[in-house]
Structure 1
Amino acid sequence: MARDLPFPQSNFRVVQRLMGLAAAGSLVLAFAAPATAADWPARPVSVVVPVAAGGAADALARAWAAYASKEIGGTVVVENKPGANGSIAAAFVAKQPADGYALLFGSTSNMSVNPFTYSQLAYNPTRDFDPVTKIAGTSQVLVANPVTGIRSVDDLVKKAKASPGHLNYGSAGIGNSTHLNVAFLAEHFKIEMSHVPYKGAAPAMMDLIGGQIDLTADALTGAVPQVKTGKAVPLVIFGADRVAQLPDVPTIAEVGVQGFPGDAWYGLMAPKGTPPEIVTRLTEATRKFWADPAVRKQMDEIYMTPPKELGAESVSQSMKTEAEVWGPIVKRLGIRND
Structure 2
Amino acid sequence: MNHINILRKLGLVTVLCAAAPWAQAQATYPHQPITMVVPYPAGGAADAMGRIIGRSMGTSLGQTVIIDNRPGAGGNIGTAQAAKAPADGHTVLLAQLSPIVINPHTYTKLTIDPVKDLIPVGVISQNPMVLVVRPGLPVKTVAELVAYSKANPGKLNYASSGSGSINHVAMELLKTNLGVDMAHIPYKGGAPALQDMLGGRVDVMIDAVVQLMPMIKSGQLRALAITGPQRVESAPDIPTTTEAGIPNYVLYGWMGVFAPAGTPPAVVKQLKSALDTAITSEAFKTFVLGSGAQLIKVQSTEAFAQLVTEDYSRWGKVVKAADIKAD
Q: Judge conservation of contact 2:53–2:279 (CA < 8 Å) in 1.
A: no
Q: Judge conservation of contact 1:49–1:81 (CA < 8 Å) in 2.
A: yes
Q: Judge conservation of contact 1:165–1:192 (CA < 8 Å) in 2.
A: yes
Structure 2 gaps of 5+ residues are: 1-19
Structure 1 length as normaliser, TM-score? 0.86
Give the 3-state SS of the residue equivalent to 2:238 in structure 1: coil
2:326 is matched with which residue?
Answer: 337
Which residue of 246, 262, 267 corresponds with 1:257?
Answer: 246
- One-letter code of the match for 1:320? T
Distance 2:181 2:172 in 1: 9
Distance 2:247 2:272 in 1: 31
Distance 2:64 2:325 in 1: 39
2:230 is equivalent to residue 214 of structure 1? no
1:120 is matched with which residue?
Answer: 109
Cα drift, residue 294 of structure 1: 3.4
Cα drift, residue 280 of structure 1: 1.1
Cα drift, residue 133 of structure 1: 0.8
- One-letter code of the match for 1:135? I
Which deviations, in whole Å up to 9, do the C-alpha atoms of 1:49-68 show, x marking residues without a partner?
A: 11101111111111000011
- One-letter code of the match for 1:187? T
Distance 1:258 1:90 in 2: 33
2:84 is equivalent to residue 95 of structure 1? yes
Distance 1:153 1:316 in 2: 33
Which residue of 256, 267, 282 corresponds with 1:267?
Answer: 256
Distance 1:108 1:121 in 2: 16
2:7 is matched with which residue?
Answer: none
Distance 2:273 2:293 in 1: 19
Give the 3-state SS of the residue equivalent to 2:27 in structure 1: coil
Give the 3-state SS of the residue equivalent to 2:26 in structure 1: coil
Which deviations, in whole Å up to 9, do the C-alpha atoms of 1:48-88 show, x marking residues without a partner?
A: 01110111111111100001111111111110011111111
Relative to structure 1, the CA distance from residue 229 to residue 78 in structure 2 (aligned partners, 3 Å threshold; closer, same or farther) is: same
Moved more, 252-261 or 130-139: 252-261
Larger radius of gyration: 2
1:65 is matched with which residue?
Answer: 54
Distance 1:69 1:196 in 2: 41
Distance 1:61 1:261 in 2: 26
Structure 2 length as normaliser, TM-score? 0.89
Q: Judge conservation of contact 1:240–1:263 (CA < 8 Å) in 2.
A: no
Q: Judge conservation of contact 2:128–2:228 (CA < 8 Å) in 1.
A: yes
Distance 2:262 2:278 in 1: 25
Relative to structure 1, the CA distance from residue 324 to residue 257 in structure 2 (aligned partners, 3 Å threshold; closer, same or farther) is: farther
Which residue of 161, 178, 182 corresponds with 1:172?
Answer: 161
Distance 1:240 1:283 in 2: 27
Distance 1:261 1:124 in 2: 27
Instruction: Provide the aligned length of Structure 1 versus Structure 2.
Output: 307
Which deviations, in whole Å up to 9, do the C-alpha atoms of 1:297-322 show, x marking residues without a partner?
A: 12212234344442322222112221
Which residue of 57, 66, 69 corresponds with 1:80?
Answer: 69
**Percent identity of the aligned residues?**
36
Give the 3-state SS of the residue equivalent to 1:157 in structure 2: helix
- One-letter code of the match for 2:226? I
Q: Judge conservation of contact 1:50–1:105 (CA < 8 Å) in 2.
A: yes
The equivalences for 1:96-245 within 5 A come to 96-245=85-234
Q: Judge conservation of contact 1:112–1:323 (CA < 8 Å) in 2.
A: yes
Give the 3-state SS of the residue equivalent to 1:217 in structure 2: strand
- One-letter code of the match for 1:169? Y
Cα drift, residue 224 of structure 1: 1.4
Give the 3-state SS of the residue equivalent to 1:143 in structure 2: strand
Which residue of 279, 297, 300 corresponds with 2:289?
Answer: 300
Relative to structure 1, the CA distance from residue 161 to residue 309 in structure 2 (aligned partners, 3 Å threshold; closer, same or farther) is: farther
